[in-house]
A = this chain, B = another copy of it.
Amino acid sequence: MLNFNFHTPTAVYFGKDTHLQVGKIISEYGYNKIMMQYGKQSIKKSGLYDQVIASLKEYNIQVIEMGGVEPNPKLQFVNQAIKVAREQKVQMILAVGGGSVIDSSKFTALGVKYDGNVWDFTCGKAVPQDALPVGCILTHSAAGSEMSNSAVLSDLTISKKKGCGSQFNRCKFAILNPELTYSVSKYQTACGVVDMMTHTMERYFTPQPPVEITDGIAESLLRTIISAGKIAIENPTDYEARATLMWASSLSHNNLTDCGRGGSLIVHQLEHAVSGEFDSVAHGAGLAVLYPAWAKYVYKANPKRFSRFFRNVFGITEQDDMIACEKGIKAMSEYFISLGMPSKLSDLGVPKEKAERLADLCTNGKTRILDSQMKLGFNECKEIFESCY
């Protein structure tokens, strides 16, 4: 077991009606002027917006609104939010939405306390030293940003989607009411299931030796997600299934599933190239295509690990490791397809001739090697992308 630090300070308020406490929670921290970020119209249509505003008003909390966060949050929006947050001297940022809104809020919070361009944090030019506090009311179970130390940002002017990991990215509090996800579409629900599964799977397949305690938790979490995912797609208002997915989303990305063996998030890097280049691609849908493709490309390097995984998570009973892997990859693909996810990049509008460009993006102009189970340079990444047709 490798040495590790584990620090998940986010205060979680989980369950029915918890969002109605938001004013009380914020006032207990002593804040009375906040910025509230959200997406487009959905929180207004659902009535959530009115409930949040009413709760904040009850506790005399002044709200500066920044609506309009897009999926794959954009640097340009964040820069504008930073400007407003500084001018208005807000004390914290409340994200009301899914992973994109939370990530936009996290970058805004970092940016307010940083003199340079926040993009610097995504490319190693700077390391966060401070941030405004961020809290969230989650409306989509997927990214795990509510408890994670990470955030992603896109700059469309250079077709790049990049991430930043830092303890300053941990939300101060996260309000998780599963009922708020009842209205999430089947497609987006499925994207969320794939996203949270891959957060745990990517940590499972590190180049490091296995760690039984962490492996067991990861496998158990994945079995639970697989089962709840099916139910939530069939019956969007099944509380237990929605609650399971919401809590699983948090536990899949708060580092619980990498303790003692680290994580590499290789397929996320492949996918970030895709949704960085093709803004219309939903992150989870990209992962649903790329994860089985990656597994198919690399499992021969470690059939023992992959076959254990497929036996314990997908219930494969085959004794032969290689055959178990092949059956497992098929079972995983079929599960994703059963949720309504695509199985090819062409289904997502990504033309095959783009494989070279995508491989170039995720190896940073051919300079970077992605390392997990097998070292992947430009050529290997290109082959994986080409296999997705």
Contact A6 B14 (CB under 8 A): yes
A227 part of interface (Cβ distance < 8 Å): yes
Nearest CB in chain B: distance from A304 CB, A: 17
Q: A223-B216, A247-B213, A247-B259 are in contact. Are A5 and B13 (CB under 8 A)?
A: yes
Q: A213-B247, A216-B223, A244-B213 are in contact. Are A259 and B14 (CB under 8 A)?
A: yes
Q: A6-B14, A7-B12 are in contact. Are A212 and B224 (CB under 8 A)?
A: yes
Interface residues of A in 223-270 (CB under 8 A from B): 223-224, 227-228, 239-240, 243-244, 247-248, 251, 256, 259-260
Which residues of the other chain, B, contact A14 by a CB distance below 8 angstroms? Answer: 3-6, 259-260
Interface size range on A against B: 35 or more
Give the docked Cα–Cα distance between A6 and B175 (Å). 11
Partner of A219, one of B2, B220, B227, B228: B220
Contact A1 B212 (CB under 8 A): no
A89 part of interface (Cβ distance < 8 Å): no
Which residues of the other chain, B, contact A247 by a CB distance below 8 angstroms? Answer: 1, 213, 259-260
A57 part of interface (Cβ distance < 8 Å): no
Give the docked Cα–Cα distance between A113 and B88 (Å). 37
A18 part of interface (Cβ distance < 8 Å): yes
Q: Given A1-B240, A1-B244, A5-B14, list of 5 further CB < 8 A pairs?
A: A1-B243, A4-B14, A9-B11, A217-B221, A220-B220
- Across the A-B interface, give the 10 residue pairs with the lowest CB-CB distance, nearest first: A3-B15, A216-B220, A6-B12, A9-B9, A7-B11, A220-B220, A1-B243, A213-B224, A213-B244, A4-B14
